[in-house]
Amino acid sequence: MPVRLSPEETLPILQVKVSDLAPLTLVAGDPARVERIAALLENPRRIGANREYVTYTGTYRGTPVNVCSHGVGSAGAGVAFEELCRAGVTRIVRVGTAGGLQPDVLDGSIVVATGAVRADGLSQRMVPLGFPAVADLDVTVALRAAAAKSGVDVHTGIVLTADNFYPSPVLENDQRMWQTVGVVAVEMEVATLLTVAAINGVQAGAVVAIDGNPLANEDESMAEYQPFRDVVDTAVNAAILAGLEALIS
């Protein structure tokens, strides 16, 4: 049975009072992105800040929503996702960044995730790998509809969630294998979110902005990774707006 906390309790790691949270939550790895999203809300109120976890609540076009940062990687992000579920949120949408794995998934486009390859560490500690990391259908359809209006290229498909951002110097980079079977993009937390949310009975989905193509670089080392470019910023903005629209749909 999923754990549910009472309204007067405080989430131990997010350091957010349960009663301060609305049922709908946007999440993003970067606390700076959370500040940016909070600035789009009416009456934003910072309700928690501890470690990499910064949480706001407010309203978006009149509907109460939260936005919370989860940091980089499945272990830390899983803490945020689990605590949000324990607080009783009903829908979580991740707005992230990712690398394109297909040759046509280019910088400045966005990807709506239909599911994720569970190459993260955390989800394997929660439920066996046979359990699929699938995005909620209603959230995904809403994300795709909102993304279609964004003016940037939109792709839909399975993303690879892996704990390693930089490739190993000794083990083979498996991204090309996932590319071969049509996986669209690589990032670090979507599978964790979809798994933790599913086992808690919470709707979840994800939209990511593409900030590079790891396999297109000469040595695949990520040495050329540069997310701070206008083309990426435009895609992040499109992903944020699609995420907010899908959240309140």
Ligand X SMILES: O=P(O)(O)O[C@H]1O[C@H](CO)[C@@H](O)[C@H]1O
Ligand Y SMILES: O=c1cc[nH]c(=O)[nH]1
Instruction: Indicate the residue among 18 and 94 with the shorter CB distance to ligand X.
Output: 94
Q: In this chain, which residue has its C-beta nearest to ligand X?
A: 29
Sequence-ordered strand ranges (E) for 80-212: 91-100, 110-119, 133-134, 154-162, 185-187, 203-210
Q: Under rule CB under 6 A, which residues in 117-156 are in contact with ligand X?
A: none
Quick one: which of 58, 71, 76, 214 contacts ligand Y (CB under 6 A)?
Answer: 214
CA distance 229 to 95: 18
- As a residue count, the chain comes to 249
Taking CB within 5 to 8 Å according to partner kind, which of ligand X, ligand Y, none is near residue 131?
none
Question: Quick one: 108 or 214, whose CB is closer to ligand Y?
Answer: 214
107 lines the binding site for ligand Y (CB under 6 A): no
- Looking at the Cβ atoms of 18 and 212, the one nearer to ligand X is 212
Active-site choice (136, 211, 219, 233): 211
Q: For ligand X, which is the closer residue by CB, 69 or 140?
A: 69
Asked if 211 is an active-site residue, the reply is: yes
| By the rule CB under 6 A, 154 interacts with ligand Y | no
- The answer to whether 26 and 58 have CB atoms below 8 angstroms apart is no
214 is in the binding site of which of ligand X, ligand Y, none (Cβ under 5 to 8 A by kind)? ligand Y
**One-character DSSP codes across 32-82:** HHHHHHHTTSEEEEEEEEETTEEEEEEEETTEEEEEEE--SSHHHHHHHHH
Span 5-44, contacts to ligand X by CB under 6 A: 28-30
Task: By CB under 6 A, name the one of 16, 162, 188, 204 that touches ligand X.
Answer: 188
Does 211 interact with ligand Y (rule: CB under 6 A)? yes
- Shortest distance (Å) from residue 93 CB to ligand X: 12
Grouping H, G, I as helix, E, B as strand and the rest as coil, residue 182 is coil
d(CA 55, CA 58): 10
Separation of alpha carbons 112 and 147, rounded Å: 8
Q: How far is the C-alpha of 70 from the C-alpha of 153, rounded, in Å? A: 26
Q: Are 141 and 210 a contacting pair, CB within 8 Å?
A: no
Q: Is 97 in the site for ligand Y (CB under 6 A)?
A: yes
Which residue among 165, 173, 199, 217 contacts ligand Y (CB under 6 A)? Answer: 165
Nearer to ligand Y, 85 or 101 (CB): 101
Strand pairing class (110-119; 203-210): antiparallel
Report which of 92, 183, 185 is spatially closest to residue 139, judged by C-alpha positions: 92
- Half-sphere exposure (Cβ direction) of 29: Cα atoms closer than 13 Å: 17
x/- contact string, 85-124, with ligand X (CB under 6 A)? -----------xx---------------------------
Report the interface residues with ligand Y, using CB under 6 A: 97-99, 165, 186-188, 211-212, 214
Active site residues: 211
